[in-house]
Amino acid sequence: MSDMQTIQWFPGHMTKTKRQIQASLKLVDAAAEIIDARIPVSSRNPELNKLIQNKPRVILMNKCDMANQTATKMWIDHYARQGVTALAVDCKSGRNLNKFPAAVGAVLKEKTDRLKAKGMKNPTMRIMIVGIPNVGKSSFINRVAGQNRAKVEDRPGVTRGNQWFTISKNLEMLDTPGVLWPRFDDQIVGEHLAFTGAVKDRVVDTELLAVRLLDFLRRLKPAEFISRFKLEETDLDATPSYDLLQMIGKKRGMLIAGGEIDTERAAIMLLDEFRAAKLGRITVEMPGGELK
Ligand code: G4P
């Protein structure tokens, strides 16, 4: 698990982060916001729009290998209707990462055209990565910059220490991502972040979290979930989630002394399997059902 997951956000820390990101944003022409394709609402920073202001932006729906393909497509259409370019990517396999430079080029076209009209031949554009912890920012940078090991030298006007990678002709990326905080004030957001493992289990009660996940799964009824736990004969609508957790524990032989079911172990197993997409490619948040 990423070290970033252990970040604790305090007001002072948030102010400092905001200032640092604002300083980095001054150096770039566009921002790429990485989100988790399974939770496109909860994996966004609540203040990002304010921070980025009118800078062109690309949304990278990462971990699309674990999200429902139809849902991801619906989200991309949803963003397109808002005039925002989004790309589904998967940093595990590298899927679609080759489309990133063109997507950035498209959102920066107006700017590059303007500069070209002023006589600049091939203006170089710069971009930075932003996102909350655990969405895959480091994986993305390693993958994209990894193929372009030769770093661009520091130049005057660039904060010392910043490294830029040439990721395509006339496009450079800042090597360090802007790490932002998620929302704290919404219980549902907290739960969804915990489902995916973006926040640590110890801050939430594992059994309660598993029950909340089962509340969701028994409504959605993903085929892999049903077959994996042999729930074909179970009336999911009529079975309370805690009973379902017990059934799952029993089916997996998770017993403690006295023949009782070890629901704690069952909860951990359920969450692990969900996080590894073994219960199916599941998107938890759909467009339209956006949280307030
Ligand atoms: P961050 O910088 O935004 O905090 O995220 P990071 O790249 O550290 O990624 C967090 C976790 O998500 C890592 O797993 C990483 O491998 C995984 N990940 C990133 N992108 C993808 C993706 O597109 N698909 C899938 N399936 N997983 C992705 P980890 O368990 O924390 O570490 P490890 O398994 O890589 O050792």
Condensed to tens digits (0 to 9), the pLDDT of residues 177-210 reads 999 999 988 999 999 999 999 987 666 799 999 9
Report the pLDDT value the prediction gives residue 145, as an integer from 0 to 100: 87
How high is the pLDDT of residue 11?
87
Return the ligand 1 atom nearest residue 142 CA: 7
C-alpha 13 – ligand 1 centre gap (Å): 24
| Cα of 134 from ligand 1 centre, angstroms | 6
In the prediction, which pLDDT does 292 show? 44
Q: Which stretches in the chain have pLDDT values below 50?
A: 1-5, 156-158, 292
The SS3 of residue 56 is: coil
- Say how many Å lie between the CA of residue 63 and the centre of ligand 1: 8
**Residue identifier of the C-alpha nearest atom 35 of ligand 1:** 1
- Gap between the Cα atoms of 117 and 111, Å rounded: 10
Asked whether the beta carbons of 175 and 153 are under 8 A apart, the reply is: no
Could you tell me whether strands 260-261 and 255-256 are parallel, antiparallel, or unpaired per DSSP bridges?
A: antiparallel
The binding-site residues of ligand 1, defined as CB within 6 angstroms of any ligand atom, are 1-2, 4, 62-63, 65-66, 90-92, 131, 133-139
Residue nearest to atom 33 of ligand 1 (CA): 1
Q: Which is the closest atom of ligand 1 to the Cα of 132?
A: 3
CA–CA gap between residue 133 and residue 139 (Å, rounded): 12
**Cα of 136 to ligand 1 centre, how many Å?**
5
* Ligand 1 centre distance from Cα of residue 286 (Å): 22
Q: Which residue has the CA at smallest separation from atom 9 of ligand 1? A: 136
Instruction: Cite the beta strand spans of the chain per DSSP E.
Output: 30-36, 57-62, 85-88, 125-131, 151-152, 164-168, 171-174, 178-179, 255-256, 260-261
Give residue 146's pLDDT.
Answer: 77
Q: What is the torsion angle, in degrees rounded to the nearest 10, for the CA atoms of residue 220, residue 240, residue 206 and residue 139? A: 0
Q: Give nearest CA residue, ligand 1 atom 10.
A: 134
CA distance linking residue 199 with residue 268, whole number of Å:
14
